[in-house]
Amino acid sequence: MNRSLYSSIILFVFDLAVAAGAVFLAKYIGRWLPGVSLPDELLWLKGSIYAGVVVVCFYFQDLYNWRYWRRISELTSSILLGGGLALIVLALIYYIIPTVGLERDVLLGAMLISLGVSFAIRAGYLKFRFIDRRATRIAILGDGDNAKFLLKEIRAGGYPVMPEGYIGRNNWDLASRCLGDISDMHRIIREVEPDLLVVAPDGWRGTLPIDDLLHIKLTACDVIDAPTFYERVTGRILVEEIRPSSIIFTRGFLSSPFQDAVKRGFDVLFALMGMVFTSPIMVLTALAIRIDSPGPIFYLQQRVGMDGRDFKLIKFRSMRQDAEKQGPQWASQNDPRVTRVGRIIRKLRIDELPQFINVLKNDMSFVGPRPERRYFVDQLEKVIPYYALRLHAKPGITGWAQINYPYGDTIEDAKEKLKYELFYMKHRSLWLDLVIIFQTVKVAVKARGSQ
């Protein structure tokens, strides 16, 4: 299991226990206050509901992802926002089901205890640099462009990985420590004791020390090639290193008829639920679009679906009616063609809600690569290797690329998104779909904008 994920799970369980314990402690302390009664036969249920709401609200404030609270100021803001959101949700639950409600003084006391303890443990996590201590320690075998690229990506992404240095024949400036020559690899691995040896050579094909690597794999640490390590750490596939054999002979990229049937059932159920629960929002959005600017409420556009079939994508119109009078254009983050209402609904992803109809028509799934227009697909297939592979998955309302990569209106952006889309196609599952949907809801709630 990824160490970062392991840390997040521990933190999640800890918060759950602290929140539930805070209810019992607040109840015990407040038993002398008017309106607080003991014994309480429903206290276990009340504590469980309170704890569940708190950890879910913490999740939506990214309190289980250390990259979003590297500073005390960020941590304080997220904790307070999480607590405020939890109070709103609990108030709604208590209004609907009064019997599971906590007394006001007990609720406020439990909130102070759970927020205080959660803040303290995370502040300590930062102060004593537990993040770095839990990072995966790696040594890189290689001293050329591949090694440089890997080191650059690790540092730029802020991943929980600690490079100890590189092993190579040349002491080049890789902004990292040269651990020694390849001939001393056994000694280096014994002294450094990395968790992983990442093989990232440049121009060593046919000359890799296979026997040495086998010995290290069996006696010292795990050995992994650079593309696999890149995929595991970044959540994307290195398009530049894809070979037909790496797709044909690798696990993944294939779903069974049973998985497809389950995914389709999931899509239909949640599309129907989505249309029911968001119908008030959609009615208000339609009225706002009609009042804000002339033109239709909905925007229908030809997109390329699974296996290259065209279909009509349905969205709320967020741009002026004459947005493409000069021909097809990629949408950009601060696109001047976007209307006032369009800017809001794009930021909250409300413009995507009519695509529930596309899901019911089986043109789309909830999760998958975003469908592009034929004009752009034809261009991108010519300049990006393996771009056509994304057409073998049903397009989605949201996807792995949308929650991991910001707006992009260049060929290079399309290439970066393809790395995420191929990762999703290789590892797609109902569990990954649920993770993506939860992340999408979080993006909408926190108004980070459409990607």
- CA 417/CA 402 separation, integer angstroms: 8
**Averaged pLDDT in 10-residue chunks for the chain of 451 residues:** 66 92 87 66 90 93 77 84 92 91 88 93 72 70 86 81 83 74 88 88 72 88 89 84 70 79 92 92 93 90 92 91 65 74 86 94 94 90 88 92 80 89 89 88 63 47
User: Same domain for 397 and 414?
Assistant: yes
The rounded Cα 63 to chain-centroid distance in angstroms is 14
Element spanning 418, H or E: helix 411-427
Q: Which of 201, 125, 196 is nearest to 162 (CA)?
A: 196
User: Same domain for 370 and 420?
Assistant: yes
Q: Tell me whether residue 248 is in a domain.
A: no
Structurally, the chain folds into a number of domains equal to 3
Predicted pLDDT of residue 347? 82
Q: Tell me whether residue 251 is in a domain.
A: no
Q: Tell me whether residue 76 is in a domain.
A: yes
**3 state SS of 199:** strand
User: Same domain for 19 and 126?
Assistant: yes
User: Same domain for 81 and 114?
Assistant: yes
Q: Tell me whether residue 250 is in a domain.
A: no
Each residue of 285-302: pLDDT tens digit? 999 999 988 889 998 999
Predicted pLDDT of residue 2? 47
Contact 371, 393 (CB under 8 A): no
User: Same domain for 122 and 190?
Assistant: no
Predicted pLDDT of residue 323? 63
380: its two tokens:
């991108």
Q: Which of 82, 109, 131 marks a domain boundary?
A: 131
User: Same domain for 198 and 62?
Assistant: no
Q: Tell me whether residue 247 is in a domain.
A: no
Q: Tell me whether residue 450 is in a domain.
A: no
User: Same domain for 230 and 273?
Assistant: no
The per-residue b/e assignment along 333-354, b for 16 or more CB within 10 angstroms, e otherwise, is eebebbbebbebbbbbbbbbbb
User: Same domain for 200 and 305?
Assistant: no
User: Same domain for 274 and 392?
Assistant: yes
User: Same domain for 42 and 152?
Assistant: no
Q: Tell me whether residue 148 is in a domain.
A: yes
User: Same domain for 155 and 14?
Assistant: no
Range of the domain at 178: 135-234
User: Same domain for 140 and 125?
Assistant: no
